[in-house]
Structure 1
Amino acid sequence: MAVLNKEYNKFDKEIKLNDSRKESLKKSRKELRKKIKKWFKENKPNEIKPKFGSQGSFEMNTTVNPIVVKDDEGNSLKKYDLDDGVYFIYKNEEDTKQSINTWHDWIFKATENHTGKDSIRKTTCVRVVFANGHHIDLPIYYKEDGVIELAHKSKGWLESDPKEFYEWFNDKKKTRSRLEAIVRCLKAWKNFRETNNTNLNLPSGFELTILATNNYVEADNLDEAFRETVKAIDAELNRYNGFKCYRPTTPSNEDVFENYSETRKSNFLNTLRSLKNDCIKASEESNFKIASEILRNNQFGIRFPLGEDKDEKFKSNSLKKSLGAAMVKPKPYGY
Structure 2
Amino acid sequence: MYNCHDDVLAYHDKEVTLPTPEQTKMRERRNANRNRLDRGLTKAGHPLPAEHKSQGSYAMKTMVQHSDNDYDIDDGVYFDRADLVGPRGAELTALQARQRIRDAVDDGTFKTPPEVHTNCVRVVYDAGYHVDLPVYRRVVTTDFFGKEQTINELASADWKRSDARDVTAWFDEENRRQSPDDTNGRQLRRITRFIKKFARSRSSWQGQMLSGFGITKLVTECFRANAEREDQSLYDTMQAIQNRLAFDLVVKHPVTPNETITNGSDDAKARQLRDKLKDALDWLAPTQAGDCTRAQALKCWDKVFNTDFFSERAEEKAAKSERISSTAPAILTDWLRQQSDEAAQQGAMRKEGGGRYA
User: Is contact 2:93-2:159 (8 Å) kept?
Assistant: no
Residue in structure 1 matched with residue 274 of structure 2 by the alignment: 269
CA distance in 2, matches of 1:82, 1:35: 15
Residue in structure 1 matched with residue 241 of structure 2 by the alignment: 233
Residue in structure 2 matched with residue 43 of structure 1 by the alignment: 44
CA distance in 2, matches of 1:209, 1:187: 8
The TM-score with structure 1 as length reference comes to 0.80
User: Is contact 1:81-1:136 (8 Å) kept?
Assistant: yes
Q: Does 1:136 align with 2:159?
A: no
CA distance in 1, matches of 2:29, 2:52: 14
Residue in structure 1 matched with residue 34 of structure 2 by the alignment: 33
Cα deviation for residue 214 of structure 1 reads 1.2
- Alignment partner of 2:127: what SS? coil
Q: Does 1:205 align with 2:188?
A: no
The code of the aligned residue for 2:33 comes to L
The TM-score with structure 2 as length reference comes to 0.75
Q: Does 1:13 align with 2:13?
A: yes
Q: Does 1:214 align with 2:216?
A: no
Alignment of 1:108-187 (within 5 A): 108-112=102-106, 113-145=108-140, 146-153=150-157, 156-175=158-177, 176=179, 177=181, 178-187=187-196
Alignment of 1:75-114 (within 5 A): 78-90=69-81, 97-112=91-106, 113-114=108-109
Cα deviation for residue 147 of structure 1 reads 1.4
The code of the aligned residue for 2:151 comes to V
Q: 2:254 aligns with which of 248, 251, 259?
A: 248
- Alignment partner of 1:28: what SS? helix
CA distance in 2, matches of 1:90, 1:65: 37
Residue in structure 2 matched with residue 55 of structure 1 by the alignment: 55
CA distance in 1, matches of 2:192, 2:118: 26
Cα deviation for residue 205 of structure 1 reads 0.8
User: Is contact 1:48-1:96 (8 Å) kept?
Assistant: no
Question: Higher RCO, 1 or 2 (CA under 8 Å, sep at least 6)?
Answer: 1
Identical-residue share of aligned pairs (%): 22
The code of the aligned residue for 1:180 comes to R
User: Which ranges of structure 1 fall in alignment gaps of 5 or more residues?
Assistant: 69-77, 310-335
CA distance in 1, matches of 2:43, 2:83: 22
- Alignment partner of 1:143: what SS? strand
Higher deviation after alignment, 105-114 or 158-167:
105-114
Q: Deviations over 1:257-291 (max 9, x none)?
A: 13476544433321121123323443436112222
The code of the aligned residue for 1:221 comes to R
CA distance in 2, matches of 1:11, 1:103: 43
Report the CA distance shift for 1:260/1:289 in structure 2 as closer, same or farther (over 3 A). farther
- Alignment partner of 1:305: what SS? helix
- Alignment partner of 1:257: what SS? coil
Cα deviation for residue 63 of structure 1 reads 1.0
Residue in structure 1 matched with residue 292 of structure 2 by the alignment: 286
Residue in structure 2 matched with residue 314 of structure 1 by the alignment: none
Kindly indicate which of the two structures has a greater share of residues assigned to helix.
Answer: 2
Cα deviation for residue 80 of structure 1 reads 1.6
The code of the aligned residue for 1:227 comes to Y
Report the CA distance shift for 1:207/1:266 in structure 2 as closer, same or farther (over 3 A). closer
Cα deviation for residue 62 of structure 1 reads 1.2
